Every structure is written in C-alpha cells, then in structure tokens.
Structure 1
C-alpha cells in the first residue's frame, strides 16, 4: 500500500489559484470541501491512475454518496452537550443548595403540623420555608446566568476561526445549508492537492508542514513520499488534519476523515475522560457534612430532652425541625456564589475567562503546573537568536529600533555578504497590506525559519523585497531532506554580466561544499583551524537548543555564465562546491517575555512547574533553562556526567535535582519509577511526549496528591487538559478542542496570567474562609435562644423573622464584602494548601466562630433580653417555666414580678422589643467580628477595616426603627417608654 502511495506522490502537480473565500456569498451558507475515507486503497484504485492521477476524476458521485452515508461528513463529532435544563437543575439542587432545600421542606412540614393542630398557627415556619426556597432559586439563577455567559463567550471563539479552509481539496464541493449537504460540483474524489499556506481539512499522504498544534514541535516538519517510521506521528508521508502546510506542493490520497483522523481520535480521547470533583466542591461537601452533623445531633438531642421534659411529641417534632433549620446559614449559599462570581469577573478583566466558577478556587489550590512549551511558554514564532561570523558569536538584535544589546558592526563586509545570502536564498514573503504594522508582528507566508530570517534581515538591513528586485532569481533548487540545502542563483546588482550563487542549509553539509571562509571581508583558506572554530561555534549554538543554519556563496564568472545562461536545476550545469563559507545563524522559538518572572513567582509560591512538550530534548532543556523551570545551578544527570567526565551509568539519579525525560524512556517506565522521579526531582522536563503520555504524567502527579493544572494550546494537550484538576487553554492560538476541554481560557495567551489566576484563587479561598467564619458566628446567638426557650420554658428571646433579618439582611452584605478583601502579604509566599488537612471549615474556625465569638454574641443578646424584661417588671427568676402562660392567647391578666397584669398583645409587644434588642446586640458584636475576620495575618492598619462596616450599621438602624404594632406582622419592634405599664 505504501508503495502505491509513494508512486502517486512522485507526481508533482502545481496548485492553481483556488480561493474558497471568494465563493462565500452568504454568511449563513458556507462552502467547504468534503473528502471521504477509503477502506482499501487498492479497491478504489480503479478511480485513480498511478501514472497520472490528475487525469482521473477520482470518486464518482455515486461512490462518494456511498462513503458519505457510511462514514458521515468530514467533521469531528461534537462532544456531548448537557441540556440547559439539566445545567439549571444542577445549580438549583447541587452542593449547598440541597441543605437549604431540606431546611425549606422541614419548615413547610412543621407549618403543616401546626396548621393541623392549632386554630391560629404562627406563620414563622411558613415565612422561613418560603425565604429559604427563594434564596436557593435566586442564587441558582444567578449561578446559571454566569455559567451561560461564559458559554456564550466560548461559542464566540468558534466564530473567530474561519470555517472555510483554502486547502483546495480537489473533491466534491458541497454547499452547506443547515445540516443538509447537496453536491454542486463534481471533482476528483479522494485525490487532494495541498500547497504552502494551506490547512488540510483531511489528512492526505505535502513537503513541509507545521505540526505544532498537534505534536508540539515548533520547527516545520519535512514531508516526502517515503515511509520512514511505524508511528504515524513520526513518518514523513502523512500530513494531518488541523496542521498547516508551510512550503511546497504535494498530491496524495485521503486516508481518514472526521473522527478517524489523529485529531479526531485525540478529541474523542479527551471527551471520554471522566471529570472529578473540584476542590471547592469537596470543601463544600465537607462543610455540609459538618453543619448537618451538628444540626442533627442538636436536633435529636433536644427532641429527646423535650419528650423527657413533658412536651407532646408534636411540639418535640417542631422543636427538632426548628433546631435543624436554625443551624442552616441561609445566606451562605448566596455569599459563596457572589464571591466566586466577583472573582471570575475580576479575572475576566485580566484576560482569564473562567468557564466554571468553581475553577477559580481550584487554580489557587494548584501545587503542580504541567505546561506545554510551544505557544504557551514560547511565542510559537521562530526568531533569529545568534549569528557566528568573523569568528565571533553575536547576539541578534530583534528590537524594532535596533537598539538592543545584541547590536554588532553592521558595516562588516562579512555581515553584508551573510545578510545578502539570508535574504536572497529565502522563499518567505510578507503578506500584503502590513506596511504600518511593526516588522516583528507582520504575518508571513513561508517556512518558520525562513520567516525568522526574513524579519531579521528586514530589521537590520532594510527592505528584503528591494534586495530581491535588484538581484532577480534565475534558478533555484529547493531544500530537500536528501541534500539538506537550498540553493538559488541571482543576477548580481553590482555586476552587469555576472551571477551570484547563494546557499543555505545544514551547517556540516554547507561546510563540506566550501574551500574558503570569509573573515573580516577577506577570503581565507578553510583549514583545520577554521574548521575547529566552526565546530566549536556549532556545538555552542546547538547546545542552546537553537536551530543552526550555515550560509555560503559563490561569485560565478561572467565568461562561463553570462546573462541569459540556461541554468538547469535538474542536470545541475553549474558548480555546487568550492564556495566561500560566510557564517552561521541560529533560531529559536523565544520564550514569552513575562514567563521567567511568572515561573519564579510560582516557585516562591511552592508550585512545581513541569514542562511537557513534543519538541527535541535539547531544545526543551534550553527553553526550560531560559524561563527558569530548570534554575541556575541545578544539574541534570547528563550535566553531572559531563562535568565529572564519567559515564551516565555511574551517576546517582538522586544527585540531580533536574531531569529531562525522553518520551521513549517514559513509555518504558513503570508507574513506581515515574512516581519516584516526580517525588525526588523538583525540576522536570518531558520531551518528545505523545498525548497519551501527557495523560500518564498528569495522573502520576495526581497520585502524589498534587492538585494539577495543565496549560496548553494544541490538540495534543486536550486529553491532559480534561484529566487535570484544572485545564487552562490559550484563547488566541488554542485549538477548539483544547478550549472545549479546558476549565479556564487565557484570552491573551499569556502564561503569566496563570500567576494572576493562582493568586486570585488563593485569595478567594482565604476570603471564603473569612466569610464563612463571619457568617457561622451568628449561629450560636441564633440557636441558643431557641434552646433556652425549650429547656427553661422562657418567652422566646429571638424570633424566626429576626433570624432571617440577620442571615439575609445584616450579615449577607458584610460577608460578601469580604470577597473584596485585598491579598495579605504572604499569599504568594506560602506553600499550596493541602486539601486533606487545610479545609475550608476546620476545627480552628469552628472553635473561634462557635466557642469564642459566638458565645460572646449570645451572652450580649441574653443580657439585653433579661434587662428589657426586668425593666418591664419580669425579673429573671420569674421567667422560668413562664412560656405556656406567656403564649396563651386567652390569658390577658398575667402578672409580672410586681403584680402588674399584662394582656397577650402587651406581652407580645415586650417580646418583640426583646427580639429587636437581641438582634441589635448581635449586629453590634458582628461589627467587631467583621474587623476580626478581615485579616488573617496582617495588622489591622494594613487592611481597610471600615469597608462593609457603615452599611451594616445603616441596615440595623433601618430594621430596628421600622414602625408597626401588629404582633404577627413581619415588622420588627423597638422598646418605647409609652408601652411600659407602671402600677
């Protein structure tokens, strides 16, 4: 089969100018190319002639329709989507919402019992049930709206990517209207032609392609008709769907479409992975378990106590329900939702799109970041880094104004000759209409390395187009993997009759064709001394992980090669040796400017950064050192062996703090060995990895108990993005598949935004902890009056409606205001939290909220309760056992400690005054609690202590001054002197 394909690939067909973009007339109707998978190439070969496939029509309409019916269109199956009603229900009934729903149901049940047994039942339980249900519905709608908003932004990414490819598939042109396909043009079936700049919509068997989105390799990969490797990702006779052809033309046969392509299989792999719970989900579940346990324990205990004290079973059940509901912090769900939403919006302003609110906190819990190299740590843009000429290594100046530290003598004759060759022996061009755009930001058509040379020469020497116009090309031999050089012949600008032969390619191949070397403008014999100098420079540049090219030229005699000479690139009727070596130029995919600082901040925050890339180990190691993943002074096993001049086998792997692991070695590793490697090395680089191996790495980190974040932009990153605790994709360069798999998207493709996300995630965990501590504190002064009401049978010190005013009125806004607290000084200096020990709600928080501040608030409330009743004639000792008489509607002559008689309505006015005073005392102590919760480590003078304080005081004043005298209304009452009846 490969022989047949190789024969077909030998046919060189030039692609005619076919622009599909010009065909699109209506934005709702997209013209695109469809090709179909062939089961057996041999079976369908009756449609193709090996000697001239371009002369055949390929698949017939009938055969194409059969394959379409069997395999479907050339499109990836979209991942299964969750119906909107299911998403809405998850927001209504997931997590903390369940506890509130249970509370609401219990309230309705208690009210039903009272309504069935009492003539005029109190409406408190009904009101409380309605309010709890309303809180859940409102916060659920709010969360659903936020998630839907993120989904809409995600959908907008698809509109940013052109769905019509200029990949000129000579196939069946199909006009898409909705989901229906109708052939409109007959073409060549499964035969396809691809040219430079095209993106194959299906994988045919091309000359040079950019596989960075699929494999992570930043350098273009050569393609040829030869079968070179068993691994489809490594062989040269296949190009893949989603990659770009950057140079040359080729004709091949489509061998897979849609889900059967490599990209389709990776997308299927990613969509098939199960997603675990987020850390914040686990924390909320843990918190629910604590609250539920406390509530049920207290409820059952006092249910039994009520029966013992002589209450009826109905009253005991109502008490049981009341205590359970009193333990539910009604405003906490809204507080958590608003806190996460505020943080998500704050991150959106910093170009971090959060698809799932809970992902915000997960990023803050991250202890390991597995980052792709190409396009994430680097710019995915080859750039000239160094040059060697005149026996010196120079750093390239790539600043727009040519004012960088890499400046060198641009008047050197050797540099003039070297830059001329780099500009002429180069097929890359700037795309039109970019004259006003800075050179480094211009788009180019051509090979990544040649584009880097083009920009470098344009910056340092001026217009390359003018150079080419003044030295027109008359002959060219393109680069190929056999010769490993590119050659072109030009009419010389400074010689009216002569020609100049220029060549670039693999340095050792170029040097073999040279007999002289130019030093300071003078041609010297290429002796062993200069060969050793070349070899030293080549090793130095290669050791930096840079791609090195050699350059040479030859001035051709006008007598032997006059103007108009018929140069033949096939017969090579011109010299290709005895040339003059000019120098070396090296290129690298440069790191993003902010990455080294971001990696340093991650290290100070105790976060391990691991590079996972498909690139060459030498390149990966050089980039890792450049961005700080391998820090200065830390050595790999290879470095130690080289320093000590000993074999690798004699080096103890544990002596090396850093390591570079090849994908082949990783494939043979056991899980135990990988675990040991991850545990004992702080700085790790994985090179030449496959998508499946990235999954293995993520799972290995998770076995160590790490919270793993994975960053990436390519299709190859999507399975790992899905498996990780949080996946972070790139918004601009990222593929659709990676964005779909990720939990968060960096809209500016800046790895440094990860650090912002980590800080925001840690901040929201700290602030949620502060908010929960503040909210739980009021539970004790809310529960204790009810317990005293049951045990001591005293008039109720604090009513249900008043409790709602605390939880949903005075407490909620201050609790939400804690989400605005700024980060404390050590937020990025402490180690990541341990999910097993550092819980959102732990013993220390419970002890402070319940055992300390909560008890102080309860004592303050009881003090005001007893003082007000004493001022009205009911001394504390007379209150014991008074509840039944106090709540008896028929008793209108109840005597106080001084013999004064009180009607039921008068008693209720005093009771509601007690409720208001108890409420006011809680609010006052909560002021102090708010100040206490605002800072965990910093001094109060370092934090803004008055934020959220005055609004709380204003709400308390409004609630307590509200008029109204009807005892069963929702109004609150304040003790006034005119209500006091004196003897």
Structure 2
C-alpha cells in the first residue's frame, strides 16, 4: 500500500524512507513544496484507501458464545448435569447447567474486552491533519491523507501518518509509546543509516507519536496499515492468546480423568452383566453411581472461587486482573520480561552527580520531589559553601523552560524532563524555581536547537549586573569556554580533566549536561549567537539519570530468590540499560544485546541468547515479540510488562501480559491480562507470590477432593466385585459430592500463603497436575476412606442392622473422614497438630461446623430421610463414625511425618 507508493508493483519491497533525503522522496512521490493537487490526492486516496486501520475479521456473537462451551471444565460440569438428570435430581441439574451458562457468559464478555486492544491502537491515529494542497494550507480529516501529502506539525499534534521530515524547527517528539525511548526525541531533516533502529531515525516522524515541542513539515510516506503503528496492529491481530499453565494442566487432567471414568464404567458394566449375570438395567444404575462418585463436580466452581479470591487480594495490592486464569499463571512464571522506564525506574529524570573543577558531588533523593542532600566524600554539605556548585545550580534553574509543580501532594514536571531535573536540584538546595524571579529577571533567550546543541539566557542580578547562562552538550559548551570556576575563583580551563570526567560519568549511564556562564551583557543589547562564541566560564558537568525504584531493587532480589529470572527490555540505549540493570542486579557481568543484533539472529540463535542474556536495548515491537516467543520455545512461562503500543504484541503473546495503569497506553492495557495501578515492579512480585498461593490452594483442593471421589468409587466397585448391596445409593453419592465436598473444599480457597513460598523454585512448566506424590496420597486416603465406610457398612449388616441404617453410617463415615482430612489438607507436608494448624483458617472451622449441621439434618430430619433413605443413628453408631474419621486423620499425619523425616520431600519436588 503506502509503503509502495513509488511503484505500481504490489510485490515491491517497502522503501527504506529514512535512508532517503526529502528531495529524493519528493521526486519519488511526485510532490513538492506546494503539496499535491486536490485531484491527484483524490486519485491516490482511491488507490491506497483511507488512512485508518481496518478492523480485523471477527467471529460473530453467536459463534463466540458457542465457543465458550468448548472448555474441558465445562464438559465435566455438563457430564455431571447429565448424570444428575438421569437420576432425576432436577435441582442439581439446574444448578450445574446454570454454572455452565454463567462461565460461558463471563468468557464471552472477557473475549469482547480483549478485542478492544485493536480498537485502542486504531484510536491512536490522529483524527485531523494540517496539509498543504495546491499551495494552500488546509485542515482535513486524517483519514484522507495519502502518500505524497505535505503535512505541517506543531507542538501538541499527534503525528497523523508516517512522515519523512523536510523542514524542522526545534521539533521534539515523544515516541515512548512506539519505541520505549524515555525522553522526547530531537528530530532533524537528515537521512539515517540503513540499519538505524526505529528510535534512531531522526529524520522520520511516526503515526501515533506526540509532538511535544517545535514545528516541522514533512512528506507522508506511509498511511494506514503500512505505518509502523499499522504493522504493530497486524502483529497483534495475528497473535493467538496463550492458555495459562493451569488451564493446560487442568485440560490434560480432565481428559485423563474423563477417559479413566468412562473406561472404568465400561469395564464394570461388562463385568457385572457378562460375568456376574446382573441385568443391564441394574448394572446401568450401578455404573451411574460409580460415575457420579468419580466426577469432581465441584472442581470448576472451586477453581473459579479460588481465582476470584486471588483477584480480590491482588486488587488490594494495586494489581488489577482482567482475565481470571492469569491469577494462577503468575505463580508459575519462570521469567519476567520487564520494561525499564516507569516500571523498574521512576520515569522521573534525576540529577545524581555534579562535577565541578575541584569537587565531585553526589546528590541524594530520587524523582521530582525536591527532597535530598548533596554529599562530598560521603558528608552532607551546604551548596552555599561551594561557589562553583552554587552558581552551577543557579544556572540550571534560570537557563530553563520547564516548570516544577506540586499537585495533590505529588510533584510533576511540565516541560522537558531533563530541565525538570535541574529544577529539582535547585529545590533541594533552596534556590528559587520560578523563572522571571524579580532578583534575576530573564531579559533574553536563545532556545535550544539540535544543530547548535545549547540553550542560553540573559539575566541581571539584584545588583543590576549582567549574566549570560548556557547549558548544553559538554563538547559544545567546552568549545565556548576559556576558563573554569574553582573553589578559589576562576582558573584556566583544564580540558583534559573535563573530558576525563565526562567519560567517567557517561560510563555510569548518566546523561550529561554542561553549565557555563559569562558575566557580560549581549553586545547589541539583545542575546544572539554572536554572544556565544567564546569567553565563557565552565561551572559544572551534571549527570542525570532515570533512577531505579528502591522497591524495584528489593523486588528483583526477591524474584531471584524465588528462582524467577528478570530480563529488562527497553527502547533506551545499551549503555543506559546496562547501568540501570547493574543497579538492579540484572545482567551483571553479561553483555547487553541490541535490537539490531537480535534482528541478525535466526530463531535458534535467539533461543540460546534469550536464556543467557538479561538486558536487551533499542528493542522494537518485533524484537520484543520474538524474544517472548523464544523464551516460550525454551519451555519458559513468561510474564511481560509494558506501557506502550509497541509492547502490545508481546503483552498479548506472553503467558501473562502486565500493563502499566498510570502511564500505559490503552492499547497496552487492553492487550494485557493484568494492569498495575501503581506502575511498580514490586507489585508484580507481590502478584507472583499471590499466584503461587492460589496454585497451592488449588492443589490442596484437588488433593482433598480426589480421595473423596476415589473412596466413593472404590466402595461402589467393591460392592460390584463382591456382589454386595450398594453401600452408597446414587443420590447419596451426589449428596456427598455436591454438598459436603464442595462446602468443605471451598474453605481451602481462603488458605494464606505458606511460609517460604517465595524461596521455592518455580514449578517446571510441563509438570503434570498430579505428581507421583499426589497419586500416592490420593490412593492412600481413598483406601482409608473405603476401608472405614465399607468396613462399617459390612460390620453393621453382619450385626443385623438394616440396609438403610448401614448406608446412613457409611455416608457419615465418608463425610467424617472428609472433615478430618480437610485439616490434614491445610498443609501438604507440615503437621497440623498445632494451634495454627488446627485453628489457623477460620473458614475451615466454619465449613466443618456447617458440614456437621448438614449431616445431622441428613441423618435425623424426616424430610431428608424421605429423600435420601437415611435413618436415625444412636450415640454408639456416631462414635464408630467418628473413629472412621480419626483413622484417616492419624494415618495422614503419620505419612507426612515419615516423608519429612526421611527427606523424601526434596526428591518428590514438593518441599
């Protein structure tokens, strides 16, 4: 389309517009200073189409709704509904089907929200554009722009299309959303090298970026889907969302369980009819009872509740979860790929070093709050006692166009962040921050221009003496200076010293500014470039950086202890990225890889590098996406953080996409699974901890639920094998599963995180939901429950008890075993024989109390007796029920003690 504007060949490769001069582009696009003729613009509009991002094809609402039922969890619930319908328990059927519908509706709504990511990118295109056509200036709908149009840009404009700049006047463009560059980029009209990354193409302005200062004119070279924004939109459209590790595990678990239940039911039916000679009708009811006992009806509901509770706890920690499964997925993360600016750092430029002729000062404090001390040799000093330092700070405050404001207790900078850092330094040392102060009024100014690389202002002090202050690139300011200000006054300029200090400061990843002054008035009374040639006194070099958040440093250390690798991916330069990484203990002693280097690697090489290297700089959207996919190809579970539209494809592709809530674009938020309300990396670490706790609780529930189902199934199988009366009727099985199991199991969703949860290694991504230890525990407890229930059932029948009473005792024995086993299940290996273990979760105690009341009603309420065929029990019979429950509790605690003492926990991978 627009990228191929110079040729009629649709298969021609896109032009490298940034490598061409604007004169060459005028010739290629057949345009000039008068712009296109209206007729030609109309012809090109018909050829290339409107300058808007077309929405991708979407599934219709009905198909989207039907696809929500294609879920293994819902299959399990629907199978349970069929079983209850066969048994005639219509209330249970209605409840299960209602749960299925609710889950499907929630998924339908969430999918609709996910598609809003593409809408957010399309909304980034400017609605209007100022163009020159037929030599006349017009304001048109940006959708009508075509390649070859000449567009005018001014401060505050959204760039409406990809443009090659032709004339530039102090243009600075905020490209953070597209490239990740933390500072506005100074633009020129010059061409760039062919291999220049997107952030270094200074002669280009890209659609969706914001002009923060200056003016320019340029020629449209790409519109709609051929813009860099359009390419990101295409990438995002092509990415399929990733299923979380839990859903993949549950899917495998559900399939295996469904196959096992169907196989067991078929074998049992054939065994009973062909060998034992039972009628098909009787065996069908027995098989239905077996299936009812084996299907974990409560699993989908408990999963949803557990994840929802995790969502609530994360919200209290400023992590807003947009998609429910992401709660648990955070707990399985093995790698966090984090953006630098605003996430690991404050996105607030801060002066950290001031180099004067005789002293080097360090500056405390981070961010825009004017709070912090200046230090020399680790001692706090008063800036007023150091003339060169004091004058340098004053120069930085006065030769400045930014403003420092306090709003609702928060400090912010209006204007260039680097100039804001100088104002904050002035605030820390007590200098006025109000430009035009009566004691030092500004009488003239030379604005910063990229070709001159400095800014200058003319002032008079309280004694009416004239001063010219200048700030800019160190090499440019050095050329203007003939002296330096030392502690004892002016002295000859030591150029070697200043160059050495500039190199040393830059090596620490700090951006450099030089400050100088001249005690003289402009020659003609008005400040001009002729006044900037020589005679200046160098005051200081200032080192500025966007510092790491203190809490991010601690959070990265906690991630490392938890076995989670942290990788920093940024659009900034490699030197800055390495420095910040070192301060955060990310990639120490390792090289930083740039986007250009990544682009030269094939997928196999990138997979190797992705595991070894931790700092990636000058990364484009394609590089970030490839990096995430390379890590996933290495069987890593990846969380990706970001705030710009350039991060959206990687956010969507990652196992967990995390967007910034305060400074993030809508495109990033809509593509993400979770949004950080405080833009703080430490919040991600807290969310990982919460995710691990959620997964632990799900494992505890499954480990609690399966033995219950297994014990019931074993009771039914034993009755069929030995031609016994069924100890549990189908309706009684459903009572146990839907009432007691779910009631008790729900309490485990409220379990707090176990101590040391963040000292564990992440679980391997491919690990099955049921480990060997889990299978053993399920089998052991199932056998214990079967022994208790079936043993009491047979003992009662042998002593002449009625079938109804024996079944009532069997049901209560299973339920009593569940209640005691619920206490065992609070800790996988630790003993619960302590006040914390027995009473540490009040929801467990409430669930047991509720279950006791339900069982008393089941046993003694006349209405329940009529429905379930239960009978009253004597105190002796209740005592035997209690003994069956204690058997499970005691053996389970003994098993945990043996594992702890024999150090099997490490070998089993559960410690």
TM-score bin, normalised by smaller chain: 0.7 to 0.9
Residue number in structure 1 paired with 2:154: 195
Question: Structure 1 residues 693, 831: closer, same or farther in 2, change over 3 A?
Answer: same
Question: Structure 1 residues 835, 975: closer, same or farther in 2, change over 3 A?
Answer: same
Question: Structure 1 residues 611, 326: closer, same or farther in 2, change over 3 A?
Answer: same
How far has the Cα of 1:847 moved from its partner? 2.1
- 1-structure distance, mates of 2:482, 2:260: 89
Deviates more, 1:936-945 or 1:598-607: 936-945
- 2-structure distance, mates of 1:424, 1:403: 20
Residue number in structure 2 paired with 1:947: 843
| 2:787 aligned to which of 840, 859, 863 | 859
Residue number in structure 1 paired with 2:429: 460
| 1:214 aligned to which of 178, 183, 204 | 178
Residue number in structure 2 paired with 1:441: 411
- 2-structure distance, mates of 1:402, 1:93: 57
> What pairs with 1:902-917 in structure 2 (closer than 5 Å)?
910-917=802-809
- 2-structure distance, mates of 1:237, 1:737: 26
- 2-structure distance, mates of 1:395, 1:736: 38
- 1-structure distance, mates of 2:445, 2:781: 84
> What pairs with 1:666-815 in structure 2 (closer than 5 Å)?
666-679=598-611, 681=612, 684-815=614-745
> What pairs with 1:136-147 in structure 2 (closer than 5 Å)?
136-142=97-103, 144-145=105-106
- 2-structure distance, mates of 1:611, 1:436: 31
The question of 1:546 aligning with 2:510 is answered: yes
The question of 1:628 aligning with 2:572 is answered: no
Residue number in structure 1 paired with 2:900: none
The question of 1:409 aligning with 2:338 is answered: no
Post-superposition Cα deviations, 1:457-512, rounded to whole Å, max 9, x if no partner, equal: 24433433245554444444333343322233x1412454x532222111122112
The question of 1:284 aligning with 2:250 is answered: yes
| 2:534 aligned to which of 577, 580, 584 | 577
Question: Structure 1 residues 168, 581: closer, same or farther in 2, change over 3 A?
Answer: farther
Post-superposition Cα deviations, 1:46-75, rounded to whole Å, max 9, x if no partner, equal: xx6x2xx5xx7x664x76666666655544
Post-superposition Cα deviations, 1:325-345, rounded to whole Å, max 9, x if no partner, equal: 432111112111211122122
Residue number in structure 2 paired with 1:127: 89
SS at structure 2 position matched to 1:414: helix
Residue number in structure 2 paired with 1:389: 356
The answer to whether the Cα contact below 8 Å between 2:48 and 2:146 also exists between their aligned partners in 1 is no
How far has the Cα of 1:698 moved from its partner? 1.8
| 1:611 aligned to which of 568, 573, 581 | 568
- 2-structure distance, mates of 1:88, 1:575: 70
> What pairs with 1:100-249 in structure 2 (closer than 5 Å)?
100-105=77-82, 111=86, 125-127=87-89, 131-132=92-93, 134-142=95-103, 144-145=105-106, 148=109, 169=130, 190-204=149-163, 205=165, 207-230=171-194, 231=196, 233=198, 234-249=200-215
Post-superposition Cα deviations, 1:632-656, rounded to whole Å, max 9, x if no partner, equal: xx52xxxxxxxxxxxxxxxxxxxxx
How far has the Cα of 1:289 moved from its partner? 2.8
| 2:446 aligned to which of 474, 477, 498 | 477
Question: Structure 1 residues 173, 958: closer, same or farther in 2, change over 3 A?
Answer: farther
Post-superposition Cα deviations, 1:118-148, rounded to whole Å, max 9, x if no partner, equal: xxxxxxx2327x6256324315405744874
Choose 1 or 2 for highest CA Rg: 1
Post-superposition Cα deviations, 1:593-617, rounded to whole Å, max 9, x if no partner, equal: 3110110010000011111122111
How far has the Cα of 1:678 moved from its partner? 4.2
Question: Structure 1 residues 867, 188: closer, same or farther in 2, change over 3 A?
Answer: closer
Question: Structure 1 residues 501, 625: closer, same or farther in 2, change over 3 A?
Answer: same
Superposed CA RMSD in Å reads 3.6
The answer to whether the Cα contact below 8 Å between 2:396 and 2:422 also exists between their aligned partners in 1 is yes
Residue number in structure 2 paired with 1:327: 294
Q: How many residues align?
A: 833
Residue number in structure 1 paired with 2:474: 507
The question of 1:934 aligning with 2:826 is answered: yes
> What pairs with 1:330-409 in structure 2 (closer than 5 Å)?
330-398=297-365, 400=369, 402-404=371-373, 406=375, 408-409=381-382
The answer to whether the Cα contact below 8 Å between 1:730 and 1:745 also exists between their aligned partners in 2 is yes
Residue number in structure 2 paired with 1:904: none
Residue number in structure 1 paired with 2:880: none
Residue number in structure 2 paired with 1:958: 857
- 1-structure distance, mates of 2:592, 2:223: 36
How far has the Cα of 1:369 moved from its partner? 1.1
- 2-structure distance, mates of 1:232, 1:769: 47
The answer to whether the Cα contact below 8 Å between 1:546 and 1:588 also exists between their aligned partners in 2 is yes
Segments of structure 2 that go 5 or more residues without pairing to the other structure are: 1-5, 7-16, 132-136, 876-911
SS at structure 2 position matched to 1:947: helix
Question: Structure 1 residues 701, 158: closer, same or farther in 2, change over 3 A?
Answer: closer
Post-superposition Cα deviations, 1:571-604, rounded to whole Å, max 9, x if no partner, equal: x443521211101111111222311011001000
Question: Structure 1 residues 696, 331: closer, same or farther in 2, change over 3 A?
Answer: same
- 1-structure distance, mates of 2:484, 2:563: 52
- 2-structure distance, mates of 1:160, 1:289: 39
Question: Structure 1 residues 276, 157: closer, same or farther in 2, change over 3 A?
Answer: closer
The answer to whether the Cα contact below 8 Å between 1:965 and 1:973 also exists between their aligned partners in 2 is no
- 2-structure distance, mates of 1:693, 1:187: 29
- 2-structure distance, mates of 1:761, 1:491: 59
How far has the Cα of 1:96 moved from its partner? 1.8
Residue number in structure 1 paired with 2:486: 519
The answer to whether the Cα contact below 8 Å between 1:132 and 1:330 also exists between their aligned partners in 2 is no
Question: Structure 1 residues 674, 742: closer, same or farther in 2, change over 3 A?
Answer: same
- 2-structure distance, mates of 1:673, 1:150: 35
The question of 1:421 aligning with 2:421 is answered: no
The question of 1:600 aligning with 2:568 is answered: no
The answer to whether the Cα contact below 8 Å between 1:8 and 1:252 also exists between their aligned partners in 2 is no
The question of 1:974 aligning with 2:903 is answered: no
Deviates more, 1:354-363 or 1:577-586: 354-363
How far has the Cα of 1:7 moved from its partner? 6.8
- 1-structure distance, mates of 2:42, 2:869: 75
How far has the Cα of 1:818 moved from its partner? 0.6
How far has the Cα of 1:516 moved from its partner? 0.6
Post-superposition Cα deviations, 1:739-758, rounded to whole Å, max 9, x if no partner, equal: 23222221221111111111
Give 1 or 2: higher helix fraction.
2
Deviates more, 1:228-237 or 1:373-382: 228-237
How far has the Cα of 1:926 moved from its partner? 0.9
- 1-structure distance, mates of 2:430, 2:158: 33
- 2-structure distance, mates of 1:771, 1:805: 18
The answer to whether the Cα contact below 8 Å between 2:292 and 2:730 also exists between their aligned partners in 1 is no
Question: Structure 1 residues 487, 69: closer, same or farther in 2, change over 3 A?
Answer: same
